[in-house]
Chain A
């Protein structure tokens, strides 16, 4: 099976990789680019653990093929903190104990960041529906939803 040569932007940096046509963007991130922060929970777009933004839009990276990435730009959990400074969502998740096992956490953070970029003042219900594509089995979602709402309030206050 011959491989495809792809040039794309990952977390702001130009990358090139070879991938076979069956590999998903998630496979490429994890196995070819060694970015293992995005997690595989289902490979069917049901759990959201592999959430990334593709040209600014929230997607499940397991539902995008590696060969579709030519000329496109993806942001993953690895680019969420800037330098030593955590994103306010990351910091709030820590303070609010909004993670237990932590496996779904990268996906939730990427999805929540995407929500707050679109809607800086979401209601609880809007937050719950936006994050309904991200499964968490540990927390019962309570502390996650609170962390997102509190971060939104903090970020509005600091503007």
Chain B
């Protein structure tokens, strides 16, 4: 897609106010829980208090008799899904998906839904839940991934047979899959190493921590159609999965996208929508379900904990010769952890001739582990970047020079096979190397840590419509939920192509019956892929304008060019014509062919991988083990920053989520398999007073796969912080932390053990 190389952008790269901004600073914007339909009931979900239990019986009769209760449902009300994965289902096991939303014969984790009620008030709904009598037979449970992998561990499912091993196992186990990928022969190449460092790392489950709990309003109509209002990372995903799980035709389900109050991957799958629809159907009234924070922690899709071994060998000068990573990931109660991407991304910042990346995924009695910002990469990178840093320490060489010396770049073959195209890894490293932070002297108990990170970025299916109004203003419509400012990016790109003022472009996120299909907002794909659809739809408008003007001027379309929002004669041969603005052309639309509507529907390839390099200074209190972050600088390759402020925001937000993962956040389970910290008081995400300013550095190494050079920017920023903090703490204290989170008691114990 040529035409934009070397072009000076008028709108792309500027920082206007976002189109949805006023609604969001005045409280007017409608999020998932803000919808309120006439006659709406309150839905509540009863959840298992046991980590693993057979459901012997559920007696809902007392609850049903309570005045004000309009519907009670259990797993029996859900259609049975085919067991296993059907061809064409892209690997999705709908029996598991349905069973996660409402337990059938077994409850598989503390918080697993077992029944739901709809009532005329929240108080009555809660009273009804207490009247539901569930008889359980408690079973032994398994929480830790290494325990789950052991033979003889309590078995969650009787139909999981490990894939990726030969021979195919004849007995079910908790081990979902074996992944293994290699370049060269790492085990043989270690003999050439002057130094080999091999370490084991552990980490706990962490939650995306979006501030908006999941919320849905569902309405069932007498003609068999369902309407759903909810916040999600993709209302087309909600429609497809809800229809499938309820045996409905897709077009009979209409999903209206509410504003989304954060997702970070956690809202790329459904948890409560089919339940709300079934309740609404049974109650014959709309039903709203809003999760409590406790439910969000216990029963949504946090990121897996892990157990990782990494072994890396290097020459005395710091050149890497071989690396092996073995990654063991929790899956929660159903398969779904990002083991494959973790193996693929682990060594992304390095050019390695001999590298093996392998691992196992095992189900455990925890909530479904699902996607969280660059899924899998932060944990894998934490382990790899820690070992790289330790090698630099042992060889007494500069960790920055070691990374530059070994850095992956265009042409580097990755462990998963393909070679990198133009990427910004070395540029990110050099931007940090040249930053003034390196000249600031460090005091006692202070340390400086560095880490790099890699993430793929995704493309995929998007569509867009650009409607030109009679006065030449534009409404642009997509089906990609705006999770962090993407309406602004869409409007900027449309304004750029159309050549009209940004303020004349209004972006809309349309519902599933109003706009064309768009995949979920994930994989840092929206500005890249949906943006590409917007660019093409705007180009479609431009082409139509040129064609209509050519007809008016009675010349060929090639004789009409589009410049600065005007159709102009291409040259002297086109005749003496006055330029026509988009507004003038729009005013004549009826007489030149009807409405000006541009559209595009694509499956975008060409997503460009993202790299990020972070550096931070910390001070560790030797009395308490507490870590104070003094300074933090984060560089990242954006390809092209459409709205730099929101790119900075992604970098800063990703860094701080990574900081929380590194220092504070963890799921804490008791011996009884119950989650003990299902609230923001005890699951502590970073607060403003924990942090310094996060200085972002945006680099722009254009992605050849996008007309404006865009790469996704949403995810890679969470990859480096875990190791950057660990490396800084190591240099401040002389102890290397290999168990996340690096809480004060753990750091203090490590310091004391060294003494």
Judge A-B direct contact (beta carbons within 8 Å): yes
Binding site for B on A (CB under 8 A): 1, 20, 22, 27, 30-31, 34-44, 46-47, 49, 76-78, 80-81, 86, 90, 93-97, 99-106, 109, 125, 127-129, 131-146
**Chain A hits for B485, CB < 8 A:** 97, 100
Give chain B interface residues in 28-52, CB to chain A under 8 Å. 28-31, 33-34, 36
Q: Which of B340-348, B680-688, B747-755 participates in binding chain A?
A: B680-688
**Chain A hits for B17, CB < 8 A:** 94-95
Contacts A106-B27, A145-B693 known; 8 new A-B pairs at CB < 8 A: A22-B122, A39-B33, A44-B679, A102-B20, A105-B24, A128-B691, A138-B262, A139-B649
**Chain B hits for A80, CB < 8 A:** 26-27
Contact of A43 among B292, B645, B685 (CB under 8 A): B292
**Chain A hits for B18, CB < 8 A:** 94, 97
Nearest CB on B from A132, distance (A): 4
A-B contact pairs, 22 of them (CB 8 A): A36-B30, A36-B31, A37-B27, A39-B211, A44-B679, A44-B680, A46-B293, A46-B679, A81-B26, A102-B23, A102-B29, A103-B210, A103-B261, A103-B262, A106-B25, A132-B690, A139-B656, A140-B649, A140-B694, A141-B656, A141-B686, A142-B652
Nearest CB on B from A141, distance (A): 4
Interface of A is mostly: loop
Who on chain A is nearest to B481 by CB? A101
Q: A132-B689, A142-B694 are in contact. Are A36 and B34 (CB under 8 A)?
A: yes
Q: Is the CB of A99 within 8 A of B123?
A: no
Give chain B interface residues in 98-132, CB to chain A under 8 Å. 121-123
Q: Is the CB of B693 within 8 A of A39?
A: no
Bound Cα distance A128, B693 (Å): 11
Nearest CB on A from B661, distance (A): 12
Interface of B is mostly: loop
Bound Cα distance A36, B653 (Å): 26
Q: Is the CB of B28 within 8 A of A37?
A: yes
Contact of A90 among B26, B34, B210, B687 (CB under 8 A): B26
Bound Cα distance A96, B27 (Å): 18
Bound Cα distance A109, B687 (Å): 16
Contact of B262 among A37, A96, A129, A137 (CB under 8 A): A137
Q: A78-B27, A138-B653 are in contact. Are A97 and B645 (CB under 8 A)?
A: yes
Is the C-beta of B655 less than 8 angstroms from some C-beta in chain A?
Answer: yes
Bound Cα distance A86, B657 (Å): 31
Bound Cα distance A44, B294 (Å): 10
Bound Cα distance A133, B689 (Å): 9
Who on chain A is nearest to B650 by CB? A100
Q: Is the CB of B484 within 8 A of A101?
A: yes
User: Which 7 A-B residue pairs are closest in the complex by CB-CB distance?
Assistant: A37-B27, A103-B261, A102-B24, A140-B656, A97-B645, A140-B652, A46-B680
**Chain B hits for A76, CB < 8 A:** 27
**Chain A hits for B424, CB < 8 A:** none
Bound Cα distance A102, B27 (Å): 9
Q: Is the CB of A143 within 8 A of B27?
A: no
Q: A44-B681, A140-B652 are in contact. Are A100 and B484 (CB under 8 A)?
A: yes
Q: A44-B681, A47-B680, A99-B24 are in contact. Are A139 and B653 (CB under 8 A)?
A: yes
Who on chain A is nearest to B656 by CB? A140
Nearest CB on B from A153, distance (A): 16
Q: A37-B28, A96-B645, A97-B15 are in contact. Are A139 and B652 (CB under 8 A)?
A: yes
B1-35 CB contact bits vs A (8 Å, 1 = yes)?
A: 00000000000000101101111111111110110
Q: Is the CB of A134 within 8 A of B649?
A: no
Q: Is the CB of B680 within 8 A of A103?
A: no
Who on chain B is nearest to A99 by CB? B24
Q: Is the CB of B679 within 8 A of A100?
A: no
Is the C-beta of B648 less than 8 angstroms from some C-beta in chain A?
Answer: yes
Interface residue tally of chain B, by bracket?
A: 35 or more
Q: A37-B28, A94-B25 are in contact. Are A138 and B484 (CB under 8 A)?
A: yes
Is the C-beta of B212 less than 8 angstroms from some C-beta in chain A?
Answer: yes
Nearest CB on A from B508, distance (A): 16
B284-326 CB contact bits vs A (8 Å, 1 = yes)?
A: 0000001011000000000000000000000000000000000
Is the C-beta of B385 less than 8 angstroms from some C-beta in chain A?
Answer: no
Bound Cα distance A103, B259 (Å): 9
Who on chain A is nearest to B262 by CB? A101
Who on chain A is nearest to B484 by CB? A100
Q: A47-B211, A100-B485, A140-B655 are in contact. Are A42 and B262 (CB under 8 A)?
A: no
Is the C-beta of B483 less than 8 angstroms from some C-beta in chain A?
Answer: yes
Q: A132-B687, A140-B691 are in contact. Are A41 and B652 (CB under 8 A)?
A: no
Q: Is the CB of B652 within 8 A of A39?
A: no
**Chain B hits for A133, CB < 8 A:** 687
Q: Is the CB of A135 within 8 A of B292?
A: no
**Chain A hits for B15, CB < 8 A:** 97
Is the C-beta of B209 less than 8 angstroms from some C-beta in chain A?
Answer: yes
Q: A140-B652, A143-B652 are in contact. Are A102 and B680 (CB under 8 A)?
A: no
Bound Cα distance A38, B656 (Å): 25
Q: Is the CB of B211 within 8 A of A20?
A: no
**Chain B hits for A77, CB < 8 A:** 26-27
Bound Cα distance A146, B484 (Å): 18
**Chain B hits for A35, CB < 8 A:** 27
Who on chain A is nearest to B696 by CB? A142
B455-494 CB contact bits vs A (8 Å, 1 = yes)?
A: 0000000000000000000000000000111000000000
Contact of B649 among A125, A128, A132, A143 (CB under 8 A): A143
Nearest CB on A from B13, distance (A): 14
Q: Is the CB of A39 within 8 A of B123?
A: no
Nearest CB on A from B67, distance (A): 11
Is the C-beta of B264 less than 8 angstroms from some C-beta in chain A?
Answer: yes
**Chain B hits for A78, CB < 8 A:** 26-27
Q: Is the CB of A135 within 8 A of B680?
A: yes
Contact of B653 among A31, A95, A140 (CB under 8 A): A140
Q: Is the CB of A135 within 8 A of B687?
A: yes
Who on chain A is nearest to B644 by CB? A97
Who on chain A is nearest to B207 by CB? A137
Bound Cα distance A146, B649 (Å): 13
Give chain B interface residues in 257-300, CB to chain A under 8 Å. 259-264, 290, 292-293
Q: Is the CB of A99 within 8 A of B212?
A: no
Which of the listed residues B208, B209, B687, B690 has the most CB atoms from chain A within 10 Å of its own CB? B687
Q: Is the CB of A136 within 8 A of B648?
A: no
